[in-house]
Structure 1
Amino acid sequence: MTYCVGLVLDKGLVLMSDTRTNSGVDNISVFSKMFHWEVPGKRILTVMTAGNLATTQSVISQLEERTKAPEDRDNVILEAPTMFQVAAEIGKLLRATIQHTQETNGVRGKGRFSATIILAGQIEGMEPRMFMIYPEGNFIETSADTPFLQIGETKYGRPIILRAYDRNMSFEDAAKLLMVSFDSTLKANLSVGLPLDMMVVERDSFTATHQRRITQDDPYFQQISSSWGNALKTAFHSLPDYSFAAE
């Protein structure tokens, strides 16, 4: 399992993903699940993946090959006129990869080769956009009603985002919000783990404005984790006392 989140703000995009993969408690590894491509001054595309590692790595490898294709070949990722078309192309690639793997392994229907992708980015002259791409190749886009997307182990980190997200918030507050969301998930599910990858993309910058890896010994993340835990205890004890006495 994994956990990836993307927030759409008025100022741009904020993305975070964990790096844990596992095939049981005795086979845990670290793999990046966040990848991006840039055309300076023209576009930035970022992808986060969740699901079967072989499937997601195959999709990313094929996307990498397409970005390195000779100039005489059609390169949809770096040349498509809209983010919608980029999402459609990645959806086709994801569906085809899953189908090929299932056929090669003699597996029919949905199964262990499934994967889900978040695509976020901006193309020159257009708004920043974010999509969730499903194993079937179809996708949804963020909206005013759904301004953020999650994939993987989503339930533990969702409540704090629902309560604290504000489209007008600063990048710094958004980063803090995602760290709290991930800390809640890390505490509740061992299949999500550090280090975490974070990327901030400012509107019309077409580059990773801020990018970092958050490790186990990161002092700020440790402070966030400790302070959030203490704040929850304080809030709990400040609630009105419940009484078993008859009213």
Structure 2
Amino acid sequence: MLKEERQAFIMRQINLHNKVLSTDLSTMLRISEDTVRRDLKEMAEEGKILKVHGGAIGRSFHHPFNTENMVYAQEAKQQIAEKTIRLLKNDMVVLTGGGTTMIELAKRIPENLRATFFTISPLVALQLVEHTHLTVISIGGQLSKSSNVHIGASVINQLADIKVDLCLLGANGFSVEEGMTDSDWEVVQVKRAMIRASKKLAILSIAEKLGSSQRMKVCDLNLIHYLITELPPENHLMSAYQQLDLELF
């Protein structure tokens, strides 16, 4: 495979999952980790990605307020955000994760909505607090450098003390066979605690992520009440999910 093809593949994986590990890329591309590291170094020097220990992350997610950094599939994420608003009602207590889709949602909350939002993402909190009638509570802890959400025991302990009406999470990997998955063990633990703290769970995901999986299990699909993508529920690409006991948006 040519270098340009390798780097295009790496860029797509980062766009889809935000963080990639050198070991995983080596396996997927069937090349040495040294070659992967050279590609990541070159891409970082060109300003396309940010290198982190063991791999790389996307620039658009790490610096969401820098307009020079394009958000991958932004139009699709905006459509998902618009659909998600239909789940929000006055006086609800909502818990959110982080990510660019969640930031798009936070920008679009109706000004007349009166609700309480807990979030593990400082970036989402900064967007939510712009809305006059929202009470915004940030659940704090160690800030993950790769995902920009709070992680760790203090976050999990705080989540154990609340019960919310609706939890909104993005998916790193999502498939019928593997359920919802992620690549970061500490993020997995926080997401599990978020699910336990919630009466209902909605997953927000661009359709490209459907059918993908990461190394670590977050939950089975039977714990999910809503799956929200940019596609119409009747789209043929959603056929595998139409048979499940969850509502498609």
Q: TM-score if structure 1 supplies the norm length?
A: 0.26
Between Structure 1 and Structure 2, the one with more helix by share is 2
Considering only CA atoms, is the larger Rg found in Structure 1 or Structure 2?
1
Higher RCO (Cα < 8 Å, 6 or more apart)? 1
